[in-house]
Amino acid sequence: MENSTGKKERIKSIDKALGLLEFLSVNEQETGITEISKNLHLGLSTVHRILFTLKSRGYVIQNLNTKKYRLGIKLFTLGCAVQSTKRLVEITKPYLKQLSQSTNETANLAILEGKEVIYLDTIGSPEILRTEIMAGTRTPAHCAALGKALLAFISDGEFKSLYKKDEPLSSLTSKSISSLEELKKHLKKVKEQGYAVDREEYKIGINCISVPIFGRNGEAIAAISITGPASRFTIDEMGKVKDKLMTISKEISNQF
């Protein structure tokens, strides 16, 4: 009965193990076998054996007191080795540092994955009131300057395959873009001006301005941004850093 649908076969035990890792990554706390078993609909012994395998290689760690499991450092090491992000972070870091220093705000680097933006690196503002984002964070692309800067430069075909007709857009704040039409219009403008602005669309009280970074072939491979509290990082302030951001973006793009 294998291959009954057109789909190619994946190795089930690997699939389960990866699902388990992902479950642990979402579940912030240590998790026991029973709980995992219930959530993933796998037998107790199956979960146990998978965890044993993962544990013996350092992908999960077992708290010997509670017997529960959490992600292990091996994953951190592997994550740091991902070549594509490594190169991006390496090249971009000095520029982010410079931006953060000259603006006193937080500077970020992110890429687009599907309809989500993934933060690869951030240099936090030295101010006490600051916007903190952790590397690795994912957010809906249409609610963030970074996401809009990236979405604006993907092909029409790609865009259509991501956002199906009349699909409702999740709103993170009352100011988030909520309809596909609105998004399209907005992205057109972003493409024209070369940068994207987010005025409390991601979170009330936070503004952000972002420009994409282009690869050899003209594709937008990542984006950098500056975020700050709306009270301090006003539209005016964003206007002031706009040119600097665009200059830096070109400098970075030249290295790809």
Partner DNA sequence: AAAGGAGTTTCCGTAATATGGAAAATAGCA
Partner DNA sequence: TGCTATTTTCCATATTACGGAAACTCCTTT
Return the closest-CA partner of residue 113 out of 189, 227, 222, 27. 222
Return the closest-CA partner of residue 13 out of 61, 51, 39, 59. 51
Return the closest-CA partner of residue 208 out of 222, 228, 191. 228
Select from 34, 38, 44, 73 the one that contacts a second copy (CB under 8 A): 73
Q: How far is the CB of 58 from DNA (least distance, A)?
A: 16
14 binds DNA (CB under 7 A): yes
160 binds a second copy (CB under 8 A): no
Radius of gyration of the chain (CA): 21
18 binds DNA (CB under 7 A): no
HSE-CB for 116 with a 13 A CA cutoff: 8
Strand partners, 226: 107, 209
3 binds DNA (CB under 7 A): yes
45 binds DNA (CB under 7 A): yes
65 binds DNA (CB under 7 A): yes
Q: How far is the CB of 3 from DNA (least distance, A)?
A: 6
Give the 3-state secondary structure of residue 20: helix
Select from 35, 116, 127, 200 the one that contacts DNA (CB under 7 A): 35
Residue 17 or residue 99: which is nearer to DNA going by CB? 17
Q: How far is the CB of 244 from a second copy (least distance, A)?
A: 17
219 binds a second copy (CB under 8 A): no
60 binds DNA (CB under 7 A): no
Is the CA virtual torsion 199, 186, 154, 113 positive or negative?
positive
Dihedral, CA of residue 216, residue 82, residue 249 and residue 94, to nearest 10: -130
Select from 81, 155, 157, 218 the one that contacts a second copy (CB under 8 A): 81
Residues at the site binding DNA, with contacts judged by CB under 7 A = 2-3, 8-9, 11-14, 16, 32-35, 37, 42-46, 48-52, 62, 65-68
